[in-house]
Amino acid sequence: MNVLSVDNVGKKYREEPLFQAVTFGIESDEKVGLIGINGSGKSTLLRIIAGIVEPDTGRVALGRECQVAYLPQNPQFNSNQRVLDAVFAGGNKKMQILGDYEAACMALAEAGGHDAKLLERVAALSHELETVGGWALENEARTVLNQLGIKDVGVKMGAVSGGQAKRVAIAHALMIRPDLLIMDEPTNQLDADTITWLEQYLGRYPGALLLVTHDRYFLDRVTTRILEIERRAVRSFAGSYSYYVRRKEEIEAERANAAQKRETILRRELAWLQQGAKARSTKLKNRVERARQLMSEKVERPAAGLDISMGSSRLGKKILEIDNISKSYSRKVLIKDFSYTMKPGDRIGVIGPNGCGKTTLLDIITGRLRPDSGLVEPGQTVVIGYYDQEARKLNEEQRVIDYVREEAEQIEQADGTTINASQLLERFLFPVAVQYDLIARLSGGERRRLYLLRVLMSSPNVLLLDEPTNDLDITTLITLEDYLDAFPGCLIVVSHDRYFLDRLVDQIFKFEGDGRVSAHPGNYTEFLESRAAGRPQEAASLRQVEEDRGPRSAGQPRTTGKPGGTANLQPETSNLQPATSNLQPSTRKLSYKEKRELDEVEARIESAEARVSRIQAEIAVAASDYVRLQTLTSELESLKGQLDRDVERWAELAQHSDSSK
């Protein structure tokens, strides 16, 4: 059964279309992932479907009595609302009764269990739950709240962190159990264990699901179809994310081949015409007309990709020495007696639950925070690039290009060439028209991409990345991973993105609580395997982990620890651009047989083009005659296929024809 129909929907932003003529449907049990580069309109499309934003064109239709729940990237709550009320607000009668029951139980507990009126209310609500069959929902609610780490349901929403508010919003969306669940970046601000639980829960979810996420493991394990926004249109891929990657690579190769084929034909034809071939009247006119048609045709080329080709500064022998540092806030110990000596080629992933001290460690390393005790000593040649969660250097009232020019007007690339700020922005997918916009007008993902650009402009040799995958689209992440693979410096990354960690790191630091940090050789999947086998690596043996791992040569890409748990989701990097070739026509003369073939091919082309015109005219007349229409359409497709082959052969022969005279 169809729960959603999107018909010819379009939306503009900055007077330019974000997307147009978008049409698709979702069945009642489908799990659909929506992907696309930052700024392509993913979140806008979700808001249109959820009924929050009106489309400029088209319409969205929901199935009869279809209930929709929408989880935004940054959910907003009434700051005076209790967590309990936020979780159960706006649900059906069963949810309302359960919410009242939980509130009454909480009030009774606060009264010491001796309030007669509260005892009576709890009993009455318990009976109501029994009547409506609500105890299964109560068990479900306890499971969801426990797995999401929501323990104090009596606290006001104004007192919880952004990450905890996201968990409350997820719990609310899951408890409603809608027919269509729409989720925008549900994995942001969740730790890896919670993400794993959520993907398993959604995999069993009985309703329809439409989500935007950068987490490729999550996409691959949950979704059954991928929708991609590209070139202002939406294309559907019937399969998992792994299937999408394979099919997308084929499509890009087809686009590149088509563009190269067209350019080859056009190049040969123009070269032949420029030689001043003697007019054989009709034939020459036909060839000129074909050249003009080729030049006017729109050919779909491979999509422009992000280009990260920044240089890095030379790194000396001494990199970073962390000596017995500790840090506490109030009575909470985040880091206790932590020491580590960084080696060349270190690739460290830092994991742990929210609020455990991961960001605090990075802030201490960069000097933003002072430890309560201990020292951090960087080497003299160290240039730290710190990509933090808040993108603190972004001034929303500043123009995009001015923000980049603050760092440098000219930027040296990895190959030693120099480009200006505007060219660099274009390589980071900010066209000239956007470069003079205020940063406030950028989408969340575009801001993060701009901030990444600014960090890399300083040519760092030690990169600290705090949740880099939040708000970055998959295309940007793939390019960033390729860049980091060959990055010659050291890397410390805090992330809950399992794929990102599997791809890039070769040791894991895990915050265990109470200030303890344990070390584990290998990537994230290897850490999970080690933990499952009961072989934890304690923090006291950090130096032993370094020795076991061995140094990684500067600039040497990783060759071990590939992403695990699913098929390799990363297509091999390939050059999809047409190869540069000599534009001068060949001087080889045609043989007698080839001359005759050229004449025959030209005659066939002229005949076929005339027949195509006649068929198209007949199709227009036969619009109501289905049988005739089918016959004409079939003939037209066959004729066009042969015409393409003849034109390609004609181009090969024609480049030599003038020198044969």
Give the domain CATH number at 627.
1.10.287
Question: 463 pairs with which residues across the strands?
Answer: 385, 491
CA dist 429 and 443 (Å) reads: 13
DSSP label of 576: -
Return the pLDDT at 227.
96
Tell whether 511 and 596 lie within a shared domain.
Answer: no
Domain boundary at 549, 572, 598, which? 549
What's the domain range around 645? 587-661
Whether residue 251 is contained in a domain is answered as: no
Do 525 and 649 have their domain in common?
Answer: no
Amino acid occupying residue 178: P
Note whether 355 and 489 are same-domain residues: yes
Backbone angles phi, psi at 6, to 5 degrees: -110, 120
What pLDDT, on the 0 to 100 scale, is given for residue 302?
Answer: 54
536 and 620 share a domain?
Answer: no
Q: Are residues 543 and 659 in the same domain?
A: no
Closest CA to 508 of 520, 492, 494: 520
What is the predicted pLDDT for the residue at 413? 76
Residues 499 and 388 in one domain: yes
- 636 touches 629 (CB < 8 A): no
Are 509 and 596 within one domain? no
Whole-model pTM? 0.70
Is residue 506 located within the same domain as residue 606? no
Show which of 523, 549, 575 is a domain's final residue. Answer: 549
Cα separation, 174 vs 201, whole angstroms: 9
Q: How many domains does the chain have?
A: 2
Quick one: 541 and 626 in the same domain? no
Residue where a domain stops, chosen among 549, 570, 597: 549
- What is residue 575's predicted lDDT score, i.e. its pLDDT? 32
Residues 629 and 509 in one domain: no
Residue 431 tokens read as 């066209």
Query: Residues in the chain with pLDDT < 70?
Result: 269-306, 311, 391-393, 535-588, 620, 622-626, 651, 654-661
pLDDT at residue 586 in the model: 46
Alpha-carbon dihedral sign for residues 358, 363, 365, 369: negative
Task: Give the model's pLDDT for residue 568.
Answer: 41
Q: Could you tell me if 486 and 533 lie in one domain?
A: yes
Looking at the domain assignment, is residue 541 inside a domain?
yes
Give the DSSP per-residue string, 349-372.
EEE-STTSSHHHHHHHHHTSS--S
Residue 601 lies in a domain: yes
Residue 509: which CATH number?
3.40.50.300
